Structure 1
Amino acid sequence: MSTLNSVPPSADEDITQSDDVAAGQADLAGAELTLITKLDEPSLMSKRLSLNDDGSLNSDGSKCWMSKGIAARALAATAAMLARIIVACRSNQAIALGSMAKNIAAPVHIVTKDRINENPGCIARTRDFINYRSGVPSWVLIDFDTKGMPPEVKVKIDASGGMWECLLKIAPGLARAARVSRSSTSAGLSRGDTGELIPGSDGEHHYLLVADGGDIERFRAQGRELPTHLHEIESFAV
């Protein structure tokens, strides 16, 4: 299934967007993603964050489980459009970075994969219905997470100016892509009793606009062949 990223709403969402160089390079007007609204109760579609006994961060994604919902098409031809979609997402919504097949009349009801035959006209959250489409512009997510990262690796990344600057040294072509960047759901956390920042709560999400969604699997495969000093980053542009 295409990447699913839950996005809690916030009027103060810290989002960086860049469309500066993308204009005129390709016809990206068809870029879209899938906006999913959860209909289950409870309706929350986000993570529950807590501390383990050793003080480390525990991220519970079980509330993201969904048995029924609605999927709608959301046009996102520019970084500004994607940023607005992310900020407008409610706590019972998430975005799937892939588009629904053209023959699907949206909005459409979502059920689980094992119930699809019992519900004609519905879709499931599988690649049969939501996927990166060849010949169609698509957004791809680079999810950067420092939890479990060796300290010496983090020091090197910080010394290079951070994750994004470090990545540009390996794949400088990324600088030309339209991009939306934001902190991850678990970023910026601190202890209520001491005010101390919680290690590992500094993740980043970077969305890049790809001219042809059919290239995204190759994009990700090539990322896994790059040097491992960027730790858990698995997706790179070409």
Structure 2
Amino acid sequence: MPDVRDVVTGFRGAAPLPGLPDAWSWSPMPRIDFAGALSADGKRLLQLSGRDSYDQDLAVATLSFAREHEEEIFASNPYLGTRGGFAPPTGRHPFDTVVGIAPEVHRFYRVDRPELTEHVRLAFPAYACEFSGTETLDEAVTRYRMLRPNHLAREPLPFLKMRYINTRTRGRSTNRGRGFTEPRRLVEELRWMEGGPGSIVEFENRHGHVWRVMWDGGWLVEEWDTQDGTPREIGIEELIDFALARLRD
């Protein structure tokens, strides 16, 4: 097992991170900045990075929270764990959660320092609406890539799985079941189903709740995870507001 402190302090340009003991910052290349802190037991590195968005105060707050709550973060999911109750410094984006990302997902240092990879957990400020807590390893990898968590001034990208069949455009999902996508794509598919009899859109939020939307001369929406919902007519703008609100629940 490598001595994590010796490895990190040996990074080019590594310097103590003001405001947090046993923590350092470094920049391996222009526009990208890293910060890392030893775990409470000193056996792991909790690390974040910022691409054109690094914020030292936010880094300190995030790593401090991750160090204090590391066990709770990964108790919820060993690959992509979260802990709510995070309060970023005043004036930053309204993050409310810290996400922990396991080595099996991020694979940092696998080329230049493979012996270090398994001792590194990433920790980023995030939003509760972005995670279900039940992501498999493959799903964790997908979400990690979608979120681009090193953009530290980003807006939320809510958890969303979708399945669709559009008889007008002849577009349809290629995945088995519902697959991850972005809210803007959901909005597009809801609008595009107009005039396509038999078209459907199913969408699922982080709580596993599912709604099905159908076109039958107008939009119909019903709860679908219980499959005992009653379809109701709804206008497109109300439908979009409803769908986006369910993703933020």
Aligning the two structures, in what range does the TM-score lie when normalised by the shorter sequence?
A: under 0.3
Q: Which is helix-richer, 1 or 2?
A: 2
The normalised TM-score by structure 2 is 0.19
TM-score (structure 1 length as normaliser): 0.20
